[in-house]
Amino acid sequence: MKHERRRSWIVGIIAILASIVIFLVPFAFIFLTASKTVKDAADLAFTLPTEWALFENISTVLQTNQFVVLRAFINSITLTVTSVIIMVVLAAMAGYILDRRKSRWNAIANFFVLAGLIVPPAVVPTIWVMQMLGLFKTMPGMILIEVTFGLSFCILLFKSFVSSIPRELDEAAIVDGAGPLRLFFSVILPLLKPVVVTVIVVQAVFVFNDFAGPLYFLPGNEGVTVQLTLYNFQSQTLNQWNLLFADILLITIPPLVMYMFFNRQIVAGMTSGAVKG
């Protein structure tokens, strides 16, 4: 018993040290570089700044190109919130239908859901379709892209969780006179809270940190997102490492805060369907 306990302590310590190396060391490097002057940051060394300039660098980043970073934060928040809301509603309804309504179309629907996870997105045909629909370089078009890319993963999570909810609740609600929409939104959806939180946090971080999507489908200064603002401080002729890392620091904080506050809910939502089932 003592040997097993000692072994578990050793494994735990190793896991903590590995987490520190993998997560905290890179963040510390970002913070220190963002706090340096242009001259000190050019060395890209893991050292303390000779002169702390964190607030000056952040102020410069925010004022660059007529406050483009602030505009980018507004665009990213709009894109993230709208996309996640649509994903939660559509995925919850689709997951409920796929689990509760058994028909010959289920196999086809499940095939397309899995295909959404496996088949990589085709950039050029997607741009062509968006141009035909008049959605290219528009926020609604980018929202549609994010929802499409994330919907399959969300449907699988909701479907797995719905299977753990007793069917007797559906039957009782129908006996009480509840229609399909009232049954779903009043009875089923409140029970999906753990997986809803998981989907919100995971997909919000994914959409907020998406770089390739806005780069391909939302070019231009009007719809710029936070990830694309990194181009403001790096080019072939000039690299402002202190401002670049200050921008990275600003971009990293919102997803980091979300994971810190909702990490337990994420784990609960990912495992609750399997545990209950």
Instruction: Return the CATH number at 168.
Output: 1.10.3720.10
Cα gap 267→272, rounded to integer Å: 8
| 9 within domain boundaries | no
Q: Is 50 exceeded by the pLDDT of residue 245?
A: yes
Residue 117: the pLDDT is 83
Lowest mean pLDDT: which of 14-18, 81-85, 250-254, 258-262?
A: 258-262
Cα gap 60→233, rounded to integer Å: 11
pTM over 0.85: no
Cα gap 158→6, rounded to integer Å: 40
Mean pLDDT of 139-163: 92
Residues 47-70: tens digit of each pLDDT: 888 889 999 999 999 888 888 889
Residue 1: the pLDDT is 57
| 142 within domain boundaries | yes
Q: Is 80 exceeded by the pLDDT of residue 210?
A: yes
DSSP sequence for 15-70: HHHHHIIIIIHHHHHHHHHHTS-HHHHTT--SS--SS--HHHHHHHHHHHHHHHHH
Mean pLDDT of 194-206: 89
Residue 270: the pLDDT is 58
What domain range includes position 243?
Answer: 65-276
| 34 within domain boundaries | no
Q: pLDDT band at 275, cuts 50/70/90?
A: very low
Residue 221: the pLDDT is 78
Mean pLDDT of 10-23: 78
| Residue 69: Cβ-neighbour burial (10 angstroms; 0-12, 13-18, 19+) | buried
Q: pLDDT band at 276, cuts 50/70/90?
A: very low
| 254 within domain boundaries | yes
Number of domains composing the chain: 1
| 190 within domain boundaries | yes
| 118 within domain boundaries | yes
Query: E strands of the chain, at which residues?
Result: none
Residue 277: the pLDDT is 42
